[in-house]
Chain A
Amino acid sequence: AQKITQTQPGMFVQEKEAVTLDCTYDTSDQSYGLFWYKQPSSGEMIFLIYQGSYDEQNATEGRYSLNFQKARKSANLVISASQLGDSAMYFCAMREGFKEAAGNKLTFGGGTRVLVKP
């Protein structure tokens, strides 16, 4: 079964509007972390935002916010006031377990391509 599912392969968004990217996950761990990364055409993965499974408040970082619904196992990314530079692939990822031995393995979703229209 897919551990991270991103159901939107691609989206268009008008400049200055908000966009929500969906992410659902599957894990039996109680401790886990959820990440969103941006990948421009250059290929480098850029960290956007993090949500821990025990965090009670939704994470926010500038124009990025994470709508975390633990019971539904969803962690949607909201980008407010879209800019042309936001055009990129966006990946949701999960790290299961917080023990040192678990290491840093990230499991990624398939990604959503966002194109911002002027």
Chain B
Amino acid sequence: KAGVTQTPRYLIKTRGQQVTLSCSPISGHRSVSWYQQTPGQGLQFLFEYFSETQRNKGNFPGRFSGRQFSNSRSEMNVSTLELGDSALYLCASSLGFHAGGSYNEQFFGPGTRLTVL
């Protein structure tokens, strides 16, 4: 079974631009969560999509948005990039529901490293 894939793996943008990152979950998984990882703030939850609906949202400004398509693939968009948006963006996929007491393990992708100049 193929793992979680994220594209692109590396990205360089300049301040003020916008960027779109993509995440393809494991086949059959309906939940995709996004996390931002920076040296200063650590790993922070951005949002989660389940069956094309945003189920949960972290404390990030409205410049950060996302969506999920009917095939469960998800994209996140950051508009008007700032230097502080430089980070590793990780997505995680899971079934999205607790099946028979399962803890609903999340599988992470390799991440997209975004550098804002």
Contact = CB atoms under 8 A, between A and B. Distances in A.
Interface of A: 33, 37, 42-47, 50, 52, 91, 93, 98, 100-111
Interface of B: 31, 33, 35, 42-45, 48, 50, 55-56, 58, 88, 90, 92, 94, 96-98, 103-111, 113
A103 B48 contact: yes
Given A44-B109, A45-B90, A105-B58, 8 more contacts: A37-B108, A43-B88, A47-B105, A52-B103, A100-B98, A103-B50, A104-B94, A111-B43
B98 A98 contact: yes
B103 A33 contact: yes
B67 to A, nearest CB: 16
Contacts of A109: 42
A52 B33 CA distance: 20
Contacts of B110: 42-44
A105 B90 contact: no
A101 B109 CA distance: 24
Contacts of A47: 105-108
A43 B108 CA distance: 10
Given A43-B111, A50-B105, A104 B31 contact: yes
Nearest to B112: A43
A107 to B, nearest CB: 7
A43 B103 contact: no
Nearest to B106: A104
Contacts of A100: 97-98
B108 A104 contact: no
B107 to A, nearest CB: 7
